[in-house]
Amino acid sequence: MMGLIIFIIWFSLIIGIPFGCFGSYERTLLSVQKQKALFVFGDSLFDPGNNNYINTTTQFQANWSPYGESFFNPPTGRFCDGRIIPDFIAEYAELPLVPSYFEIGKDHFVHGVNFASGGAGCLVETFRGFVIDLKTQLKYFKKVTKDLKNKFGRKKSKQLLYNAVYIFSAGNNDYFNFDATYPKHEYANMVIGNLTSVIKGIYKEGGRKFVILSLGPLGCTPGSRALNFQQGNKSGNCIQQLTTLAKIHNSALPKMLKQLEQKLPGFKYSLFDFFKVASERINNPSKYGFKTSKTACCGTGPFRGIYSCGGKRQIKEYKLCKNVKDYLFFDSGHLTEMVYKQVAELLWNGTVDVIQPYNLKSFFHLPA
């Protein structure tokens, strides 16, 4: 008798799976646990249009032509001519585009959600009132985890959150908005401290796998070069002091991540050297298929470094390049789709010289 029952259970398991004997609700629950998901946090490098939904100014938005035109019609609010880094990562991970937080509706979040906001920093003071700061992004993430729990139950939603990857581009704007009343290192500690709090907050909700981008060479954007030019440095050099701030921040990142790894059981991270990847392309554009790294495709003034692309901000006049593929920078501070694709590929399957200890391809499959 016992043998028969075991046989029936065994037999129904064997035929149950291939013949789809589970109901569709049951199937959803089963798949949710194994679902790959990508949660995105940070600034304009990652913002898919969240700032379209907040009370801000056009300084912090980009949902008009020619933004987006290489891929999206109508424009979405991405600060780029086309797709941005999270779009490519989603593609490589075989996920749908990660939706903006304000567009997830009732159940459109099992593959992850994008909370990033153009202009946001790690400090609440950074462009306060115009952006969704990182702390608020965490608050929105907690709302999503609550919805997940309500929909799938505690155990299954936890499993999804354990397995998910959490990616950050955060800190750039804190240094563009540097408060010089602080000593540089003290300011950087404060920025990193606030980033750490948010990472811990996500860990508390179940997050385990974190990917952090280092900051780019902030003084070498067309916007920075234009500023330098306007302040009398006609050579179009980078603003060294700004890049130095990014370097200070970047050197504190690995220490912070190692400390979290020691303190939080199961915490895993990967650090991507965006500074190196961007600098190599700025210093040697032709090696990577670009004609210029100093001048932006879209903007006005020296190096088209005045932030006027599309004519919807303070300055209405702007110039647009003919062939965006020749350019590293689309506007005064943001890269083109071609660059983001190269960066995303390195995040996905790059080697330890740019991403370690895991690239995203291995990180997604790593058991939490």
Ligand X SMILES: *[C@@H]1O[C@H](CO)[C@@H](O)[C@H](O)[C@H]1NC(C)=O
Summarize as ranges the residues that interact with ligand X (CB under 6 A).
Answer: 55, 92, 123-125, 190, 193-194, 197, 232-233, 235, 237, 240, 345, 348-349
Q: Which of 81, 100, 174, 334 is catalytic?
A: 334
Q: Based on the number of CB atoms within 10 Å of its own CB, is 108 exposed (0-12), middle (13-18) or buried (19 or more)?
A: exposed
Identify any residues that bridge with 181 across adjacent strands, giving them in sequence order. Answer: none
d(CA 213, CA 295): 24
Query: Left (φ > 0), alpha (ψ -120 to 50) or beta: where does 149 sit?
Result: alpha
Q: Which is nearer to ligand X, 51 or 157 (CB)?
A: 51
To ligand X, the closest distance from the beta carbon of 290 in angstroms equals 19
Q: Which is nearer to ligand X, 109 or 203 (CB)?
A: 203
To ligand X, the closest distance from the beta carbon of 183 in angstroms equals 14
Q: Which is nearer to ligand X, 83 or 158 (CB)?
A: 83
Q: Which is nearer to ligand X, 152 or 272 (CB)?
A: 272
Q: Which of 43, 44, 293, 308 is catalytic?
A: 44
DSSP letters, 40-98, are EEESTTT-SSGGGGSS--GGG---STTTTTTT-SS--S-SSSS--HHHHHHHHTT-PPP
To ligand X, the closest distance from the beta carbon of 63 in angstroms equals 17
Residue 334 bears catalytic tag: yes
To ligand X, the closest distance from the beta carbon of 180 in angstroms equals 15
Residue 44 bears catalytic tag: yes
Q: Within its chain, how far is the Cα of 10 from the centroid?
A: 45
Residue 185 bears catalytic tag: no
3-state helix, strand, coil in the chain (%, to 5): 50, 10, 45
Are the C-beta atoms of residues 73 and 148 closer than 8 Å to each other? Answer: no
Q: Which of 111, 293, 331, 332 is catalytic?
A: 331
Using Cβ positions, the residue closest to ligand X within the complex turns out to be 193
What positions carry a catalytic annotation?
A: 44, 331, 334
